[in-house]
C-alpha cells in the first residue's frame, strides 16, 4: 500500500473491461488506482480479484500489477488452470510488455540487470542491493522523445517478475517513470497525475489448449 499516511483508497468504479475469456482463463484490463488483490484493512478490500470472485467464485490469482499500474491482468477460473498458469510463469514462457513515459531522454535499447530487495524500513519500497538482492532483468527500447516535457516513451519487457521491478530499474538508470509517487514524486504534474506505466501486451501459449494468445490493451496515456 502507499506510504502516504493521508492516502485514502478510492478505486475507480464500474465494470471491469474483459480482454479475453474462455473456460479456463479470464483476462481483464485493470484501471490505475485499483488494487489487484484485497488489502489487509477493511477499506482496502475492493480489488480486481474481489470483483472477479463475484462472478467466478473459484477464480485464482496468477500474477499482480501494482495499484498504480494499469493494463492486462490474468486470472485462472479454476484450480487446474491456476496450476498450469503457475508453471507457465515459472518457466518464463510468458512475454510481458509495458509502455511507460520516463523522465529525460532515453535512447536506443538495452538491458537493466541489477538485483532488487525489499527496503524493509520503507516498505513497500524496493531497492537495488548487489549483495543480498534477487536477480532482476528488464529489457527496454526507447520509442519517442518529447522535448517540451523532457520525457521518453519506452517499451519495457521484464524478464523476471520482482516487485516494483520496472519502477526501480528505470529509476536506477536515471529515468524514473513519470507520475510514480514513490520513486519519482517530482514527476507528478497535470499531465501525469497517475503513474504512466501500462501493461499493454501478454503473449503465451494457452497452458491447457496450446493455443497461441497475443492479448493487447490500448495505452491510456
Q: Which residues are catalytic?
A: 66
Contact 26/59 with Cβ under 8 angstroms? yes
Closest CA to 166 of 65, 75, 94: 65
The C-alpha R_g of the chain, in whole angstroms, comes to 17
C-alpha cell at position 29: 484490463
What per-residue string of b and e applies to 111-137 under the rule 16 or more CB within 10 Å gives b?
Answer: ebebbbbbeeeeeebbbbeeeebeebb
Cα separation, 52 vs 48, whole angstroms: 6
Measured at the alpha carbon of residue 67, what is the angle toward residues 32 and 62, in degrees to the nearest 5?
110
Amino acid at each position: 500500500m502507499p506510504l502516504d499516511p493521508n492516502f485514502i483508497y478510492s478505486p475507480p468504479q464500474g465494470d471491469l473491461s474483459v480482454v479475453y475469456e474462455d473456460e479456463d482463463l479470464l483476462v481483464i484490463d485493470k484501471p490505475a488506482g485499483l488494487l489487484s488483490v484485497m488489502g489487509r484493512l477493511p477499506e482496502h478490500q475492493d480489488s480486481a480479484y474481489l470483483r472477479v470472485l463475484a462472478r467466478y467464485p473459484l477464480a485464482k490469482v496468477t500474477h499482480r500489477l501494482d495499484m498504480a499500474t494499469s493494463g492486462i491482468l490474468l486470472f485462472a477460473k479454476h484450480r487446474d488452470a491456476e496450476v498450469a498458469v503457475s508453471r507457465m510463469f515459472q518457466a518464463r514462457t510468458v512475454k510481458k510488455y509495458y509502455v511507460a513515459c520516463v523522465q529525460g531522454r532515453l535512447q536506443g535499447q538495452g538491458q537493466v540487470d541489477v538485483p532488487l530487495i525489499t527496503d524493509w524500513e520503507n516498505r513497500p519500497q524496493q531497492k537495488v542491493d548487489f549483495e543480498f538482492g534477487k536477480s532482476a532483468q528488464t529489457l527496454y527500447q526507447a520509442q519517442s522523445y518529447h522535448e517540451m516535457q523532457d520525457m521518453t516513451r519506452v517499451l519495457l519487457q521484464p524478464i523476471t517478475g520482482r516487485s516494483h521491478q520496472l519502477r526501480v530499474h528505470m529509476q536506477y538508470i536515471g529515468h524514473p517513470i513519470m507520475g510514480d509517487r514513490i520513486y519519482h514524486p517530482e514527476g507528478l504534474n497535470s499531465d501525469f497525475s497517475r503513474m504512466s506505466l501500462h501493461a499493454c501486451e501478454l503473449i503465451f501459449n494457452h497452458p491447457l489448449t496450446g493455443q497461441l494468445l497475443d492479448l493487447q490493451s490500448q495505452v491510456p496515456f
